[in-house]
Structure 1
Amino acid sequence: MSDRYALLVPSPRHAVAHDGTFTLDAGTLLHAEPGLAHLVRRLLHPLNLPLADGSAPQGALSVRLEDGGAAEGYRLRVTGDGVEITAAGPDGVRHAVQTLKQLLGADAWRAAAAGTRWEVPCGEIEDAPATAWRGGMIDVSRHFRTKNTVLRYIDLLAMHRMNRLHLHLTDDQGWRIESRRHPVINRRSTHRPDTLVGHRRHSNDYDGTPHGGYYTLDDLAEISAYAAERGITVVPEIDLPGHASALLAAFPELGTGSREVLGGWGIGSGVLKPVPAAVKLVCELVDEVLDVIDTPYFHLGGDECPTEDWPLDPEVAAHMAALGVTEARAMHGWFLRQIGEHLAGRGKRMIVWDEGFQSGGALADTVVMCWRGDAIARQAAAAGLEVVRAPVYPTYFDYDQSDLPAEPLSIGGAITLEDSASFEVRPASWSEEERGRVLGGQFQVWAEYIPDERALDYMTFPRACAIADAVWTGRPAGHADLIRRLREAHLARLEAAGCEYRPLDGPHPWQQGGTGRRARELNDPRRSVASWHAWRDEVPEVEVAVSTVQRGS
């Protein structure tokens, strides 16, 4: 039983097992101040622990705060006489309880556990995260996820001591946010008539089935509050000025290119114009979200934005002339900075994908989310900006998980569990100053080929366990050690929590692609592990362009 201390995910900084056990059951007293007591009882929901009066009695679960520790750090001590948790703040208490649940065994992750009596192995843990940003991104635009799915993923992130949920809420294929100020968006931008079947490079077949949905502002407020109770900050993303086709279905006069909600994938031609009227609209939509989501961050996207049509549009051309700008690309940076200044006025920090930095769209406190490899991430860090590392390889979970023909359809491949276990959030090859600008990292689950919740589980776990380990410890998870922890303990925890993860040896029969719509396409030469790795190593470094428009103009 003492081996449980060696089977935690993510790994703690220091853990040692001792002889003996402590029995935790419904009769165990909880000694904690009221706010902390509520937190602990909610996380240990199969037990409704009675509260102790006065000083901590022997045989209790005791929780207290101490000054001087790391912001999210904690100390957990289990003896034959009880359980003691000390932390600098509520986040540390949350992490300690999540660790305690892993020590209890898999049944602690069930909604109701028969008997609710556990023998907890004695030992001590001292722990704190190595990075401040530990997250996961879920694309709810390409395929909509219900509110309940989002809430469940908040619990799964908290289980792994993650603290950021990045929601990709808008794209060409659907706008997933209610607007009370502009209800035309709810009518025109939140659904599409059908969806592409198969892979975008090989199919023009659409399924003929409408797809859509959106979160009401009340839903988003609920999601934000639910996440906050679990120590997770929601990072909303409105991805503009590119990927705007769905928004332009409601406001066609404000864009160029496609002006309908798209059912296919790739980089759409629908782009919001970089003009004051479009900036005003976006700021109003941003304000609606920030009125209900309590977050210090707002992600403006800024990726994959075709700009070649902008100079051909009379309104954009006139605005460029007024600003003295000759390059369309510079207007990309102008657009992002305008909204960034609005966010700053509300006390929020702008986040952009690395193209936003490349086009000069970053403000002094902008966080750059780097997905196109190390070169641009190092350039952003060298420019004094804080960076969240989210490189395609190995943090994108919309890619194949192996070379097995049975894998379901995905965007490409393969990014294996071993690849994700190699993720180094602060690479040793970077300078000390560059590493110091890395806030942390996150995984990404883009949803073009992930149609439902069961497929989402399959594509996300257990690869997410590897990223969670890396961003908590500050070092790669290590494939062999991670496999051991997964096989001997953690997969059972995921199963008890209701997560339909991918088995280590390959998909269950019902998770396979088969020969129908979800069949993996095997003829793409870039889809094997070896060829994908070779292509990845040949990706050229990205050069950063200097904007010709000054900040704030």
Structure 2
Amino acid sequence: MARGSTSVEGNQPVSVSRTNLRSPDSDPAPVSALGNVVPAPSSVRPGGTPYTITSATAIRVDDAPGVRAVGDHLAAYLRPSTGYPLPVTPGSGADGVQLRLDPAAGELGDEGYRLESTGDGVLLTAREPAGLFHGVQTLRQLLPHAVEADSEQPGPWTVPGGTITDVPRYPYRGAMLDVSRHFFTVEQVKRYVDQLALYKINKLHLHLTDDQGWRIAVDSWPQLTAVGGSTSVGGTGGFYTKDQFRELVEYAAERHLDVIPEIDLPGHTNAALASYAELNPDGQAPELYTGTEVGFSSLCADKPVTYEFMDDVIREIAAITPGDRLHIGGDEADNTSAEDYAAIMAKAQESVARHGKEVVAWHQVTGTAVADGGWVQYWGTDETKKEEREQVAAAVRAGARLILSPADRAYLDMKYDGEFALGLSWAGLVEVDRSYDWDPATYFAEEGVPAEAVLGVEAPLWTETLSTNAELELMAFPRLLSAAEKGWSRGDLPWEGFHERLVDQGRRLTALGIAYHPSPKVEWAAE
């Protein structure tokens, strides 16, 4: 979905072993300088005595909702590699790592934090637990890369001295995972969630339905998963029960990510049409689909059952989604007339509102009326027709908020180069420097969209050619770090500084066992 081309090039699997990964030097990696993290912090004031975590270090937490959970996460990150007990205890003390909420710290907002490192300890302050959690991710990155290992390492575990004050640029910093083209299990998605959390991503957009598979249980329409969930591109499928989906949502929420489910309408619906014959204009169910073409399927605007189906699905998905948003797709409806598209999308938006949620949709929805409070997700490229961009801008001027996912910058499934075995290339080849070389604030400036209308950035990962976590990681890393920085960091920071920090992140990704692409655009550390 949201691709604009249907050819799959180089669709052969890639086997990723440790030999595919960059390796850290045999000597312990040097301690990162303060601020040598991704995404770049807002303000860095280095200086003073560093703090070294030892076997006597305690993690001290405020007695406030959500703070103990952040402390437990920090302890879980650090205990395996350090071998230290790192007890999580209430109250303050003279040393150790302290996690403190300060409701009066309005300048930090809902997700900002302040990290102060001295010879006595590390103090993390935030207004909300989400800010403390993001500060913990920065603290991880300030420690040697070996801290990410799952077995005891020699250390020392030293945090540079100084103060970081950090507030995100945008409230929406997203990543999308397509589990429809190829199905990924709960545990596989959890692994991706953990990787997203390290880089302060706060939204997980799950593309749950498409032509190739329906991945979420709907009690009132059980054949959607029994039939529609049985296939994927080139093979068998799978689906989440409602309890499994709740488990994923809860896991993400514990890491301060909201899950936004997507039910794609009115196109990309072959899995649903194959499950229920009555949804088709002639009452005949099509065959299940395991290819990669797009734009051929559509719901019927003139059948009452279409709207019963949509409302039931939206009602049930809304009921198991604690967040306030639901994505209704809306792109590549090539087999739907403009009149029918407008009718279906209007009813879908009404249904979303009726069941207590607000709408997110791909930018084609701007060809019709966008609901009040709607978010529009742009997936075009630098070459997208001016009329289409103007249409998006008009919707934004009318009150919609804009999420930017330009395919030739932010799509993680685009090939790095013409020889790369995985991915597609319809939007062009996207090396890591290109994924970084754009500014969300000015992306729609020519169309008169003000910077404040941009809600944030999302990096989609479509899976026509991807079926394993190793393949996901090769496509996501290191480009996901570009998207994370574009969403969090202030201003249009130069490539040179990002490149330096990316080199350091290569070792951390290796320590985490993440299979990343060793892009020739980056002078990675020697093996």
TM-score, structure 1 normalization: 0.80
Q: Provide the rounded CA distance (Å) in 2 between the counterparts of 1:406 and 1:272.
A: 36
Aligned pair partner of 1:461 in 448, 467, 477: 477
Of residues 27, 31, 48, the one that matches 2:60 is 31
The two structures, once aligned, show a CA RMSD in angstroms of 2.3
Secondary structure of 1:418's counterpart equals helix
Unaligned runs of 5+ in 2: 1-29, 80-84, 382-388, 523-527
Matched-pair contact (CA < 8 Å) for 2:233–2:464 = no
- Secondary structure at the residue paired with 1:387? strand
Match of 2:269 in 1: 244
AA in 1 matched with 2:46:
A
Aligned-partner Cα distance in 2 for 1:190–1:395: 28
Separation in structure 2 between the aligned mates of residue 409 and residue 230 of structure 1, nearest angstrom: 29
The answer to whether 1:401 aligns with 2:425 is no
**Contact 2:331/2:365 (<8 A) preserved:** yes
Q: CA deviation at 1:268?
A: 4.2
Partner-residue secondary structure (3-state), 2:33: helix
98-107 vs 175-184, which deviates more? 175-184
- 1:505 alignment partner AA: P
Contact map agreement 1:27 1:50 (CA 8 A) in 2: no
Contact 1:421 1:476 (C-alpha < 8 Å) held by counterparts: no
Question: Given the alignment, which residue of 439, 442, 452 partners 1:436?
Answer: 452
Distance 1:193 1:422 in 2: 34
Q: What residue is the counterpart of 2:13 in the other structure?
A: none
1:49 has 2:86 as partner: yes
**Matched residues in 2 for 1:194 and 1:160: separation?**
30
Report the CA distance shift for 1:502/1:194 in structure 2 as closer, same or farther (over 3 A). Answer: closer
Partner deviation per Cα, 1:362-421 (whole Å, 9 max, x = no partner):
111111111124544423222221111111121112211124x35445344301111111
Question: Which residue pairs with 1:414 in the alignment?
Answer: 429
Corresponding residue for residue 348 of structure 2: 339
SS in 2 for 1:305: coil
Counterpart in 2 of 1:364?
Answer: 372
Query: Aligned residue for 2:19?
Result: none
Aligned to 2:293: 266
1:279 is aligned to 2:328: no
Q: Which one of 358, 368, 380 corresponds to residue 395 of structure 2?
A: 380
SS of 1:4's partner is coil
Q: Which amino acid aligns with 2:482?
A: A
Cα deviations across residues 230-277 of structure 1 (Å, max 9, x unaligned)?
110001001011011000111122135972321111214221112432
| Structure 1 alignment gaps of length 5 or more | 196-209, 309-327, 508-553
Alignment equivalent of 1:65, drawn from 91, 94, 101: 101
2:169 is the alignment partner of 1:133: no
- Which residue number in structure 1 is paired with residue 237 of structure 2? 212
Letter in 2 for 1:221: R
Equivalent-residue separation in structure 2 for 1:125 and 1:261 (angstroms): 53
Please identify, of 377-386 and 414-423, the stretch whose mean Cα deviation from structure 2 is larger.
377-386
Once the two structures are superposed, the pairs formed by residues 308-347 of structure 1 within 5 Å of their partners are 328-347=337-356
User: Does structure 2 retain, via aligned residues, the 8 Å contact 1:30–1:37?
Assistant: no
Q: Distance in 2 between matches of 1:506 and 1:478?
A: 15
Separation of aligned partners in 1, 2:277 and 2:60: 60
Among 297, 302, 320, the residue aligned to 1:292: 320
Give the alignment's TM-score, normalised by structure 2: 0.84
- The corresponding residue for 2:10 is none
Which moves more between the two structures, 156-165 or 278-287? 278-287
Distance in 2, matches of 1:36 and 1:112, equals 26
Kept in 2: contact 1:426–1:474 (CA 8 A): no
**C-alpha deviation, 1:158, in angstroms:** 0.8
Distance in 1 between residues matched to 2:521 and 2:187, nearest whole Å: 28
Task: Pick from 232, 249, 254 the counterpart of residue 257 of structure 2.
Answer: 232
Counterpart of 2:497 in structure 1 is: 481
Q: Distance in 2 between matches of 1:190 and 1:167?
A: 15
Distance 1:453 1:92 in 2: 29
The match for 2:158 is 119
Cα distance in structure 1, aligned partners of 2:168 and 2:439: 14
Q: Is the 8 A contact 1:12 1:127 kept in 2?
A: yes
Q: Helix, strand or coil: the match of 1:125? A: strand
Compared with structure 1, are the counterparts of its residues 431 and 80 closer, same or farther at alpha carbon in structure 2 (3 Å cutoff)? farther
Q: Give the equivalent residue in structure 2 for 1:541.
A: none
> Residue 39 and residue 116 in structure 1: after superposition, are their counterparts in 2 closer, same or farther (change >3 A)?
farther
Classify 1:291/1:83 alpha carbon distance in 2 versus 1 (closer, same or farther; 3 Å): same
